[in-house]
Amino acid sequence: MRLMFFQTASQELAELQEAFQKASNGERRLVFIHGEQSIGKTALLDTFLAKVHHPGLAVLRARCVQMGCAAEPFMPLLEALERHCREPYRRLLSERLSHVAPTWLYQMLNVLDSEEIAVLQSKISHINTGRMLREGADFIETLS
């Protein structure tokens, strides 16, 4: 895993391209783009993705939103996964979630039909943050 902090737009783009090249060659990369609101993080990512042409590339984009006092800690990732579970390759992603991270899929019941929900409920005895963290890590590992 690699955590990257960015300084300038050209440097940021070059670091993203380098990380992608290394990932394309089998080296694992995890890149976080962070910074103050409205400094161009989304524009940077859009520019980078417009230049990347790789048939096996899938992008999971999560966004952080300031909320009131109580918040769902996994909401940005759940939102991104839910968005992907509505796309044409939905079946592959939901099957992998069901197998590796059923507590994550259980948080997105609106993307499942009643039969899928019944099967999923039989796998879930309890849901807690620790279990979701372990399953989430395993799920990301299988995707990479």
- pLDDT (tens digit, 9 = 90+) per residue, 35-94? 787 888 888 888 998 988 887 777 777 776 666 666 677 888 888 899 888 887 778 888
Q: How far is CA 31 from CA 2, 81, 110, in A?
A: 6, 18, 29
The neighbour count for residue 6, using CB atoms within 10 Å, is 19
Helix pair 114-123, 90-100: axis angle to 10 deg? 20
- pLDDT greater than 50 at residue 26: yes
Q: Which residue is associated with the tokens 């992603």?
A: 93
Q: Which run of H or E residues covers position 114?
A: helix 114-123
Mean pLDDT, range 17-27, rounded to an integer: 88
Q: Which of the residue ranges 53-57, 114-118, 122-126 has the most confident prediction, judged by mean pLDDT?
A: 114-118
Of 26-30, 64-68, 124-128, which range is least confident? 64-68
Q: Which residues contact 5 (CB under 8 A, 6 or more apart)?
A: 34
Q: How far is CA 81 from CA 5, 9, 14, 77, in A?
A: 25, 28, 27, 6
Mean pLDDT, range 21-40, rounded to an integer: 82
What per-residue confidence (pLDDT) applies to 1? 36
pLDDT tens column, 78-111: 888 998 888 877 788 888 999 999 999 999 988 8
What per-residue confidence (pLDDT) applies to 105? 92
Q: Which residues contact 52 (CB under 8 A, 6 or more apart)?
A: 20
Using the 8-state DSSP alphabet, how is residue 110 labeled?
G
Q: Return d(Cα 72, Cα 84) in angstroms, integer.
A: 19
pTM of the predicted structure, to 2 decimals = 0.69
What per-residue confidence (pLDDT) applies to 94? 87
pLDDT, greater one: 62 or 8: 62
Q: Return d(Cα 82, Cα 105) in angstroms, integer.
A: 9
